[in-house]
Amino acid sequence: MKLSRIVSNQNGVSRKRANALIATGRVSVNDEVCREAQQDVSEFCAVSVDGNVIQQARPSRYLMLNKPAGYLSATVDDLHPTVLELIDSTLHDDLHIGGRLDRASTGLLILTNDGNWSRRLTEPEIKIPKVYRVTTEHPITPETHRRFEAGIWFEYEQLTTSPAQIEEINECEARVTIYEGRYHQVKRMFHAVGNRITSLHRERMGSIQLNDELTVGQYRSLTAEEIASV
Q: Cite the active site residues.
A: 102
d(CA 142, CA 30): 56
Q: How many Å apart are CA 3 and CA 161, to the nearest integer?
A: 38
* Residue 125 identity (one-letter amino acid): E
Residues 6+ apart with CB under 8 A from 6: 41, 47, 54, 55
* Amino acid at the residue 120: R
Percent composition of the chain: helix, strand, coil (DSSP 3-state, to 5): 25, 30, 45
Separation between Cα atoms, residue 194 and residue 191, nearest integer Å: 5
